[in-house]
């Protein structure tokens, strides 16, 4: 459910609930309620809008960091070099914040 307002989220939530009832997909709706709606403050756009993200979502931040790690370490690296590279990368990210 992608919405920038709680009203929009609630409307989409109701539409999903109705769809699941009409199409006998109660297990899907139960899963959504238990695993997603219960923690919507962590992922829903309307709930996260109070935090500064500089336009980044969790997904693109993670992908960007993984790409930087791959560039830094290459594809085949010893474990000690991998750990040293990860620590160095984390220091660089922390300094940028």
Cα 6 to Cα 49: distance, rounded to the nearest angstrom: 11
String of DSSP letters for 12-81: HHHHHHHHHHHTT-HHHHHHHHHHTGGGGGGT-HHHHTTS--TT--HHHHHHHHHHHHHHHH-SS--HHH
Mean pLDDT for 25-40 is: 94
Confidence of residue 22 (pLDDT cuts 50, 70, 90): very high
What pLDDT is attached to residue 55? 66
Segment 33-86, tens digit of pLDDT: 999 999 998 888 888 777 666 666 666 777 777 787 777 777 676 778 878 888
What pLDDT is attached to residue 24? 96
H or E segment and range at residue 5: none
What pLDDT is attached to residue 53? 66
């Amino acid at each position: 459910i992608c919405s920038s307002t709680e009203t929009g989220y609630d409307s989409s939530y109701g539409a999903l609930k109705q769809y699941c009832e009409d199409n006998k997909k109660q297990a899907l709706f139960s899963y959504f309620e238990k695993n997603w709606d219960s923690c919507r403050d962590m992922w829903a756009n309307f709930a996260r809008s109070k935090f500064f993200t500089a336009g980044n979502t969790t997904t693109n931040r993670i992908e960007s960091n993984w790409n930087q790690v791959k560039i830094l370490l290459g594809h085949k690296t010893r474990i000690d070099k991998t750990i040293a590279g990860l620590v160095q990368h984390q220091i660089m990210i922390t300094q940028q914040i």
